[in-house]
Amino acid sequence: MEEIIYSVLGFLVAVGVLVTVHEWGHYAAARLVGVRVLKFSIGFGRSVWERSWGVDGTTYAIGIVPLGGYVKMLGEGTGDVLPGEEHRAFDNKPLWARAFVVSAGPVANLWLAVMIYWLVSLIGIAGLPPVVGAVQPASVAQAAGFRVDDRILTVNEREVKTWGEHRLFMLAQVLAGSPLHFEVVGTDGENRRVSVDTGVLGEKIAVAALFEKMLGIQPRLPTIPAVVGDVIADSPAALAGLVVGDRILAIDGHKISDWRELVGQISVRADQEVVIEIDRQGVRQQRLVWPKGTMVNGVRTGRIGIAVMDTDEIFRALPKAQYSVLPALLNGLERTWLTTSVTLRMAYRMIRGDIGSENLSGPITIGHFAGQSARIGLVPFLVFLALVSVSLGVLNLLPIPLLDGGHLLYFLIEGVTGRPVSEKVMLGGQLLGGGLLAVLFSVAIYNDMARLISL
């Protein structure tokens, strides 16, 4: 129940912020070029709240369906324009002014991402030390020369403070087919250069989440004791009688040394009877538990419903990737550019068929990740918000009728031909664009439901 509440609230906050910023971009640009704004709405459908004020009598509203918003302008497409107000109608404005108003929404989303990344860079993002914990045999990383316990100092001349600090940059390099050059120091104290040919790797990567798995390298994780910190009600662990404070000693006779090993042993035993040996206040006991199978990245994974003990002290000791004001702003600009680049390259791969449509996500999945990031903390939620803001901005700039990019395409045609696109062509484009968006939304909802059923 708590997870559902976090997901719903996280989704509403995320959508509320992103849509408000997007529509404010249109609104502010319209006011700047002298277009009269009739209505500014967050959400669609019947208004649950509505007020009108200002010299222009603009109506501000919140719609009942929180899946978008709109800015209605005088003379936009249809509607009578009163005598004396012709100069304030959207359709009567010069081409550059109309393009400015339409593009301002997506641009506002991109600038929001810059500001969020800037703020996050100032606060600092804690991460794992950049130390190699495991190298998969016969992997790209092993072939390149990575070794366990190597400390990564730089990647393509960029200083590395935490393990995930430059993940986005590296993913962009891989998708572009550009090489990665690491400077590492081994346990012998000797610095050496490790280069990764990303050509083959780039063809294998389907989604960002699989990047490090395809590279074949994992970070060294802090040692967390295999002690139960929380038990979810009605979970397999609760039904088996596990309680807070139990130390897990063995799984089916396999000795457990830390939390990571515990998770690994449970995850491969989905929907099987498992014998767990525990230490409860100095007394050894055995419990039978059936890990519940859950789909994770296409693999059925066992979960028993326990959480780790308080690890605040461990995580407080983690290094931070933190910047001063100007470097933080430059980092925000670069991260927004890299996120945009990765988003476009992933979209191109999906159109080309390299990435399956099952990777499309709808509001349920977005809500899930919004809730998950919010539960972790403010910084992870802000990073999530920036990622979705870039996606929203990029999506709206695609040349699909009904989206902002579709309007910009019409304006481009008007600029080349010297006359506006005919109503017949616009209507056909709207039908085509509406059909395409409906199909994409239906696939995304289907994927959401499939993921939900598999949980």
Q: Which of the residues are catalytic? A: 23
SS3 content of the chain, % helix, strand, coil (to 5): 50, 25, 30
**Tokens 């010299």, residue located:** 55
Q: Give yes or no for a contact between 121 and 328, defined as CB atoms under 8 angstroms apart.
A: yes
* Four-point Cα dihedral 232, 209, 320, 334, nearest 10: -140
Q: Please, which residues bridge with residue 286 across strands?
A: 277
- Calpha distance 42→277 (Å, rounded): 54
Residue 380: strand, helix, or coil = helix
What kind and span of H or E run contains 26?
helix 2-32
Helix axes 423-454, 404-417, angle to 10 degrees: 160
- Calpha distance 251→267 (Å, rounded): 11
Burial 119-139, CB ≥16 within 10 A → b, else e = bbbbebbbbbbbebbebeeeb
* CA 189 to chain CA mean position, Å: 38
- Calpha distance 219→126 (Å, rounded): 14
Is the C-alpha dihedral spanning 28, 434, 432, 395 positive or negative?
positive
The CA-atom distances, in angstroms, between 133 and each of 34, 128, 147, 218 are: 59, 11, 9, 6
Those residues whose C-beta lies under 8 Å from the C-beta of residue 216, and which sit 6 or more positions away, are: 135, 136, 138, 139, 140, 141, 142
Instruction: Report residue 40 as tokens.
Output: 């500014």
Residue 131, phi then psi, degrees to nearest 5? -120, 130
Instruction: Report residue 287 as tokens.
Output: 């419990």
